[in-house]
A and B are shown apart, each in its own frame.
Chain A
Amino acid sequence: MWTLYKKEIRSFLGSLIAYIVMGVYLIMTGLFLWFVDGNNLFDLGVASLQVMFDISPFILIFLVSAITMRSISEEKRLGTLEIITTKPLTDRSIILSKFLASVTLIALTLIPTLFYVYAVYNLAQPLGNIDLGSAAGSYLGLILLAACYASIGLFSSAITDNQIVALITSMVLSFFFYSILSMLGDINWLDQIGKSLSWFGLEYHFDSISRGVIDTRDVIFFLGFSSIFLGFTQLVFESRKW
Chain B
Amino acid sequence: MSINVNNLTKIYGKQTAVNSITFNIPSGKVVGFLGPNGAGKSTTMKMLTGYIPPTTGSGSICGIDIMENSLEVRKIVGYLPENNPLYLDMYVTEYLTFMAGISEVKQKKEAVEKVIETTQLQRERHKKIGQLSKGYRQRVGLAQSLIHDPKVLILDEPTSGLDPIQVVEIRNVIKSLGSDKTVLLSTHIMQEVEAMCDRVIIINKGNIAMDQSMEELRNDNSNLEQIFRKATNHVDTL
A binds B: yes
Total cross-chain contacts (CB, 8 A): 60
How far, in whole Å, are A98 and B146 apart by their CA atoms in the complex?
A: 25
User: Nearest-CB distance from A57 to chain B (Å)?
Assistant: 31
Interface residues of A in 120-171 (CB under 8 A from B): none
Residues in B with CB closer than 8 Å to A82 are 46, 51, 81, 85
Contact present for A240 and B51 (CB under 8 Å)? yes
Residue of B51, B83, B102 touching A89 (CB-CB under 8 A)? B102
**Is B75 interfacial (CB 8 A cutoff)?**
yes
Given contacts A3-B98, A87-B74, A88-B71, contact A80 B89 (CB under 8 A): no
How far, in whole Å, are A4 and B34 apart by their CA atoms in the complex?
A: 35
Interface residues of B in 49-84 (CB under 8 A from A): 49-53, 71-72, 74-75, 77, 79, 81, 83
How far, in whole Å, are A241 and B53 apart by their CA atoms in the complex?
A: 6
Contact present for B49 and A88 (CB under 8 Å)? no
User: Nearest-CB distance from B4 to chain A (Å)?
Assistant: 18
Residues in A with CB closer than 8 Å to B75 are 88
Residues in B with CB closer than 8 Å to A87 are 74, 99, 102-103
Query: Residues of A at under 8 Å CB distance from B?
Result: 3-4, 6-7, 11, 14-15, 78-90, 240-241
Known: A84-B102, A240-B52. 18 other contacts (CB 8 A): A11-B89, A78-B86, A78-B88, A79-B83, A79-B85, A80-B85, A80-B87, A81-B85, A82-B46, A85-B50, A86-B50, A86-B51, A87-B74, A87-B99, A88-B72, A88-B104, A89-B102, A240-B51
Query: Residues of B at under 8 Å CB distance from A?
Result: 46, 49-53, 71-72, 74-75, 77, 79, 81, 83, 85-90, 98-99, 101-104, 144
